[in-house]
Amino acid sequence: MTSTTRPYGQITGLETLGLFGAVLTMPFVQALRLLKKPFNEHDRVRTWRRVKADAGFGYAVSVLNAYQIQFVDGSTTKVYEKWAPTVGVKPDIEKIDEGANLLWATPRKRKRVLVYLHGGGYVLPAPPFSIGFWKHVTDNLNKKDEDTSLVIVEYGLYPKVEFPVPLKQMIATVKHLFSAGYKPEDILLVGDSAGAGLIVQLFAHILHPVPGVPEFSIPSPLAGTVLISPFVAMDVTSPSFTSNAHSDIFSVDFFVHLRDLVKPTIPESLLHYVEPVKAPREWFKGIDKLVSRVYITSGDSEVLRDDIKQFSEEIHAFHKDATWVNIPNGTHNEPYGTLVAGEPEVGEWPTKVTDWIAAASR
């Protein structure tokens, strides 16, 4: 995969043919994976739907580049507008400062708000299954009388923007929610992969302002944050990049492809904001004053596992209410697995996350 810069979602004629080729060959790849299921230690514990979905996703990111996926998926707004009618949500898009959009998945201004930051390596838009996961969590919270709204942040993606624009948009989001009447203790920041990394960037900026970005502070701690498979490392040197190279849904080559698009745009002196495992010691000292509770997940079979473990230990050193859960046999963004696969039941993870969030209000 090459890493040439061109407009968002622009593909060549050859890459267009590649899309058709991927669509035509994917069913054969999935069928072969299903035939091997009984003999694969990783797959045999999963349902056939999950194995089929993992095979399809893994094949897609092994043969397509970021621009092809951008071409197919479009923007996060486009994904949201297609997803909303399928769950009875009327699209509600709010433009805010710094060019960000807030995509509301519930009525606005309930007592609390879940603010969702999607992953995609700062390159790809939100997938519908991750939005669906957080809608399940929000609906569960409201069944518990938690009176919670859900908003998806559409932040700028490469090559339309570069660091630190997404961070500025993250700051603009929190400021906007403050001005809308939300208190810090009513705001929960939730995200996966690069979205989780963007949440970490916000905390790092409050503690150590990024040069050229306006300083920002919060009057009291936010209610909590959930970081699913946070994108905390860009190098592929930790042992899990080797040991889990063939078990993760997210291939090492595709990880490197996304990294090679984004990393050259970040000044070397600021890389640790995007790659916090390389931050100085005590970088997160004071994070307990910014957020009341922290919940971090990783998959035991994902390539980022060891880096997430290191990051979680560094957070825990300065926050007594930080929890890290390493999910057995889990891959990247494992809590979304049942929704990726289209399982008839959403599984345990929406309930687990709901219960953790609800405990923050007790």
pLDDT of residue 250: 85
Query: Quick one: average pLDDT of 315-339?
Result: 97
d(CA 90, CA 283): 42
| 139 in the same domain as 16 | no
Give yes or no: residues 198 and 341 share one domain: yes
Q: Report the C-alpha gap between 29 and 116 in whole angstroms.
A: 33
For residue 146, the one-letter residue type is: E
Q: Among residues 73, 96, 113, which one ends one of the domains?
A: 73
Same domain membership, residue 235 and residue 222: yes
Both 198 and 312 in one domain: the answer is yes
Domain's final residue, options 48, 73, 98: 73
Q: Are residues 172 and 230 in the same domain?
A: yes
Alpha carbons 283 and 276: distance in angstroms, whole number: 8
Rounded average pLDDT over 272-277? 97
Residue 131: its pLDDT value, please?
98
Residue 42 sits in the same domain as residue 59 = yes
User: Are residues 44 and 88 both part of a single domain?
Assistant: no
Residue type, position 311, single letter = F
Whether residue 284 contacts residue 310, with contact meaning beta carbons closer than 8 Å, is answered with no
Closest CA to 229 of 199, 189, 275, 192: 192
Same domain, 205 and 336: yes
pLDDT in tens, 185-240: 999 999 999 999 999 999 999 999 999 999 999 999 999 999 999 999 999 999 99
Task: Return the closest-CA partner of residue 187 out of 160, 224, 162, 213.
Answer: 224
Which pLDDT band holds residue 2 (cuts at 50, 70, 90)? very low
Is residue 3 scored above 50 in pLDDT?
A: no
- 290 and 243 within one domain: yes
Confidence of residue 109 (pLDDT cuts 50, 70, 90): confident
Instruction: Find the mean pLDDT for residues 138-160.
Output: 96
Q: How many CB atoms lie within 10 A of CB 211?
A: 8
What digits encode the pLDDT tens for the residues 296-311? 999 999 999 999 999 9
Please identify which residue in the block is written with the tokens 């997430």.
308
Interval 154-168 mean pLDDT: 98
Taking the C-alpha atoms of residue 67 and residue 74, their distance in angstroms, rounded to an integer, is: 10
Work out the end-to-end distance of the chain between its first and last CA atoms, rounded to an integer number of angstroms.
Answer: 49
Q: What share of the chain is helix, strand, coil (3-state, %, to 5)?
A: 50, 15, 40
Among residues of the chain, what percentage have pLDDT more than 90? 95
Question: Of 52, 73, 94, at which residue does a domain stop?
Answer: 73
pLDDT band at 122 (very low <50, low <70, confident <90, very high): very high
What is the average per-residue pLDDT within 135-150? 96
Type of residue found at 144 = K
Tell me the C-alpha to C-alpha distance, in Å, between residue 113 and each of 170, 182, 358.
Answer: 15, 8, 12
In this predicted model, what pLDDT tens digit does every residue of 6-37 receive, in sequence order? 999 999 999 999 999 999 999 999 999 999 99
Sequence-ordered strand ranges (E) for 108-183: 112-117, 148-154
Q: How far is CA 31 from CA 34, 36, 37, 55, 306, in A?
A: 5, 9, 10, 9, 32
**Are 130 and 112 members of one domain?**
yes
- Comparing 2 with 249, the larger pLDDT belongs to 249
pTM: predicted TM-score of the whole model, two decimal places? 0.96
- At 362 the pLDDT is 59
Work out how many domains the chain is built from and give that number: 2
Q: Read off the pLDDT band of 101 (50, 70, 90).
A: very high
Position 4 pLDDT exceeds 70: no
Check whether residue 80 and residue 41 sit in a common domain.
Answer: no
pLDDT at position 5? 75
User: At 267, is the pLDDT very low, low, confident or very high (cuts 50, 70, 90)?
Assistant: very high
Q: What is the mean pLDDT of residues 120-141?
A: 97
Same domain assignment for residues 145 and 64: no
Residue 214: strand, helix, or coil: coil
Domain of residue 184 covers 74-359
Q: For residue 138, give the CATH number of its domain.
A: 3.40.50.1820
